[in-house]
Chains A and B, each alone.
With several copies, the nearest count.
Chain A
Amino acid sequence: MQAENNMHISFPSYSVNESFARVVVGAFAAQLNPTLEELADIKTAVSEAVTNAIIHAYEGTVGTVEISAALIGRTLKVEIRDRGKGIEDVEQARQPFYTSSPGTDRSGMGFTVMETFMDSLEVESALDRGTTVRMEKHIGADQNGSGEE
């Protein structure tokens, strides 16, 4: 295994790319031999952030979603960026159940899921400039690696 590794990916904000983004980050994190639960946590958190970029940041328009990820030691760092409309009040947005689309089937639980499933969550946003979500997760010791990779 490489001691450090990183990757960058970008794709248009089509909802079909939500599952693609999950698979990409999951496959990258797989290099640390995560447990199935750790892998599911990562995929879920990435899905939340990418979905937010698609539905909130670009709202009906099509923009670019960018993901950078790095493996540093046994920690996955992942950053999801959009250049969409931005968040006016990040603190409010991060509250459980807060959603700016209350009429729809949005639950307002996206940020709460990210926070719960990852070890850290940082949200940087500027109106009309876009939003960057940074998350980290430590992957527990490699249980069943065969050693040679």
Chain B
Amino acid sequence: MLIRCERQGTALKAKPAGELDHHNADFVREELEGMLKDEGIKELVLDLSSLTFMDSSGIGVILGRCRTMQKRGGKVSVMNMSSQIDRILKMSGLYQLINKIG
């Protein structure tokens, strides 16, 4: 698991690579929360193009970051997910809380 992060204005673009399961969830959460300590970040954009697997542990990780961003009036967006991950996100109702870009 690796996460590439890039600040773009008030947005943080994060691109996790690998398999987002329970085993890797703590690592991803801690990396993201570390970056999000900067309260100037108002949008977290998750580029999921390099995720080769995600299960409901990934939903938990995204949902948790939604809470972090909502507390500061910010938001979470996702982009470039595989059709499998798109199905999981749909199933979980997450698209009512996050933006789907593209």
Question: Is the beta-carbon distance between A107 and B59 smaller than 8 angstroms?
Answer: yes
Residue of B nearest to A36 (CB): B84
CB distance from B28 to the nearest CB of A (A): 9
Main secondary structure of the interface of B (DSSP, over half): helix
Dominant SS among interface residues on chain A:
helix
Interface string of A29-63 (1 = CB under 8 A from B): 00000000100110110011001001100000000
Report the interface size for chain A: residues with CB under 8 A from the other chain: 27
Name A113's contact: one of B23, B25, B56, B63 (CB within 8 Å): B56
Identify B56's interface contact among A16, A43, A54, A107, CB under 8 A: A107
A116 within 8 A of B: yes
A15-B23, A116-B91, A146-B1 known; A105 and B56 CB under 8 Å?
no
Q: Chain A residue with minimal CB distance to B88?
A: A113
**A-B pairs with beta carbons under 8 A, tally:** 73
Q: Which of A19, A54, A104 contacts B19 (CB 8 A)?
A: A19
Chain A positions within 8 Å of B19 at CB level:
19
Interface residues on B, range: 20 to 34
Please determine whether A18 and B21 come into contact, CB atoms closer than 8 angstroms.
yes
Given the interface pairs A105-B63, A107-B63, A113-B56, the reply to whether A44 lies near B88 with Cβ below 8 Å is yes
29 contacts between A and B (CB under 8 A): A15-B23, A18-B21, A18-B23, A19-B23, A19-B53, A22-B53, A37-B83, A37-B84, A40-B84, A43-B53, A44-B84, A47-B21, A47-B55, A48-B55, A51-B22, A51-B55, A105-B29, A106-B60, A107-B56, A107-B57, A107-B59, A110-B55, A112-B92, A113-B88, A113-B91, A146-B2, A148-B1, A148-B27, A149-B1
